[in-house]
Each structure stands twice: as structure tokens, then as C-alpha cells.
Amino acid sequence: MPTSTLIRNSFAAAFRVVLVAVVALALSLVAVPPAQAAGGGPSITKKYFGTLSGGKKIDIYTLRNSNGMRVKILTYGGILQSIEVPDSRGRLADVALGFDKLSDYVKQSPYFGCITGRYANRIAKGRFTLDGKTYQLATNDGPNHLHGGNKGFDKRVWQAEPFRRHNSVGLALTYTSPNGEEHYPGTLRAKVVYTLTDDNQIRMDYRATTSRPTVVNLTNHTYFNLRGEGNGRILGHEMRINASHYTPVDKTLIPTGKIARLGGTPLDFREPTAIGDRINSKNQQIVRGGGYDQNYVLDSRGHDLDLAAKVVEPESGRVLEVITDQPGLQFYSGNFLDGTLRGTSGHLYPKRSGFALESQHFPDSPNHKNFPSTVLRPGDVYRTTTIYAFSTM
Ligand code: GLA
């Protein structure tokens, strides 16, 4: 072959390589979702997280908003596995306690980040009467029923449907709980929609319908540490709760039925106060909970979406506001954590290294006529919304 032909051929080959590269690059740009191509807009991706012993595969979805805030959600328990938010200098940290392995969630999770149901919180002796019929639920917390029983919503696999809008991204989770599951009456169709907005809010919209009269009380059980999970205790966080009443409890943490005033007690958080300031007080209610573990009767009484609590962490400058339309808020200061669980980033979680603010109906409502009703009947729709809003000082 003459040299000139050889050169022409190698030029043509090089040209083809460049052409293929240019086309591939153009195609890859087209394949990027439009919201991402437009400069880091909200996005959602899915990855495999683990397999349950029965063979079911569990996914983890990563939601990212335009500011870089990131939330990870598991199809197991609808768990908020990680919530990365900036501090006042823009540095991200994961502020939700959790695990990096599915087996830890299955074996030993104290309800980290999960959807809690069918009845979040306690029902005395696991028993209630509805329309003249008495139901006996599991007693999985001393003499009482807690957080939906032996296998509540926190241990179920949810169907996930991701979505993306202009200023937000989200995951719709659904689970159908068959009639009689955990001995609750009625087939309950539950839906929880998590939305991460561009103003750093996690919005949770709950919906449920039933085939028979039943009781329902759903919440999210995230443990927060605004310093970052695994980064010490939560005692320096300043807490404000918009409640002037609460529901005092007996020795087994079941409400006595009284709606008592908070004024003058170390449980009163109407003025911002560090969680640690009064946590070792000899107040009988604090002693019974081993710290804070109380249901606050919100002053908004559950009418509209309203600010229920505001938490400020002075060192990082991170701020969490809980906004809800629920009548109650359980403030739990992580008293049962005991330093044996190793969390997401490999650190042990000591006592009081996370707190939960569980928007909900009052504990044991099915046994207290003076509490707002938690009964759901066929044809009615259970609907409630809670927002975790993050900002900095
Ligand atoms: C709720 C309860 C606490 C405890 C935790 C989970 O917050 O009120 O007493 O059971 O859940 O450990």
C-alpha cells in the first residue's frame, strides 16, 4: 500500500474514533435527567441495600435537592437512613442515627428513622374495645403494646415510587396491611409520601384507608443529633416545644388520662432550654421515662400545620423545626440507647446521643374517651402531614 493511502487510512480511523467519542459524549449529556443537567437540580437515584432472610431485596433511594442536602430512604420500614444537612458554615453532616447494614436494622434497631404503625406509641396491655368488640394485640413492651407490635410498619417492605418536580424530589411508599395483621382489625392501605424540597424540608404526607373499623396512629421515628450522628450526646441542643399541657404517665409509661399543665415543671419547654439542663431532675415523670419520654399536647391542638417544636444546636448552628397537624408530640431523649449500637459511620451511640420528636395522636388513645379519636372507619381517609424543616442560625 502506498504511504499516502496508509496515511489517509489512519487519518480516517482517527477521525472515526473522534466522531464516536463526540457522539458518545452528546448521548451521555442527553441521558442526564433535565433537572440535573440544569445545574444540580433535585435528583433521585436507587441502589441495592441488602436482602432479607426470606429473599426480598431492599433498595436505598438517595434524594438530593438543589442545595446539596441529601436524604436516604430504605424500602424496609420506610426508614430515613441518613439526612445530610449543612451547618452554619455549609459543611454537611448526617444528623439521623442509623446503620449502614440491613441486618442491623432487622436485628437491633430501636426504631431508627422508621415509619411507625399501625399504632405508634403504647396501648395499655395491648387491649382496646371498638364497637363493642375487644381486640388483643401483642404486648411487646413490658405489659403494653408498642409501635405496632412484634412486626410493625417499621419491619415491612414498602413499594416505592420515585418522583421529581421542579423544586422538589420525593418517594411515595405504599404498604397494604392485611386484615388481622398484628391482630388489628381491617385491611389498612397505607401511603407515606416523603418529599425533599429545595428549601431543605422533608415533608411527610400520610394517608390510610381501612376495610373495617380500626385504630391508626402513624409517625416517623427519626433520632436526631444535629451535631452529626455518632458525634456525642444531645444534651446541649436547645429545645422549644409549643405545648402548655402534656399527658402524664404511670410506671409503665401509659397515660393516666389526665391532661396536665406543664407550667412550673422541668418538662416545660415553652422557653428554649437545653435538653440537658433538667434531664436529671427528680420529677416523677422524668424519673419514670429515664429522661424525657413524654407526649406533649400541642397548643395548636392538631388543627392546621403549625410549628410544634424548634431545636437549635449552638455549636454547629443547625436548626430543626417540626411542623405538624397532629395534636401530640412525643419527645424522647434517647434514654434507652446504651452505647452498644454502632451507627452508620462506625461510632457507638451512647445514652442520649439522639432524640426523637414523634408527631402523633396521644398514646393509648383507644382507651381514653377524652383524647382525640384515633378510630378510622371504612369510607373515611386518614390524612396527616409533618415537616422536618432544616436551617441554620
Ligand atoms: C418511643 C417511646 C419510647 C421508646 C422509643 C423506642 O419514643 O416513647 O419509650 O420506646 O419509642 O425505643
DSSP assignment of 304-331, as one string? S-EEEEEEE-TTT-EEEEEEESSSEEEE
Q: What is the pLDDT of residues 302-313, one digit of tens each?
A: 779 999 999 999
Record the pTM.
0.90
- For ligand 1, the distance from its centroid to the CA atom of residue 6, given in whole angstroms, is 78
Q: What is the pLDDT of residues 49-88, one digit of tens each?
A: 999 999 999 999 999 999 999 999 999 999 999 999 999 9
Atom of ligand 1 nearest to the CA of 293: 8
202 CB near ligand 1 (under 6 Å): no
336 CB near ligand 1 (under 6 Å): yes
pLDDT of residue 39: 52
Collapsed DSSP state (helix, strand, coil) of residue 9 = helix
- For ligand 1, the distance from its centroid to the CA atom of residue 360, given in whole angstroms, is 13
pLDDT of residue 16: 56
Q: What is the pLDDT of residues 345-361, one digit of tens each?
A: 999 999 999 999 999 99
Q: How many CA atoms lie within 13 A of 202 on its CB side?
A: 27
111 CB near ligand 1 (under 6 Å): yes
Catalytic residues: 221, 358
- For ligand 1, the distance from its centroid to the CA atom of residue 115, given in whole angstroms, is 13
Q: What percent of the chain has pLDDT over 90?
A: 88
Give the residue, by CA position, lying nearest to ligand 1 atom 2: 121
Residues 6+ apart with CB under 8 A from 307: 242, 321, 322, 323
Atom of ligand 1 nearest to the CA of 116: 11
Residues 6+ apart with CB under 8 A from 176: 187, 188, 189, 190
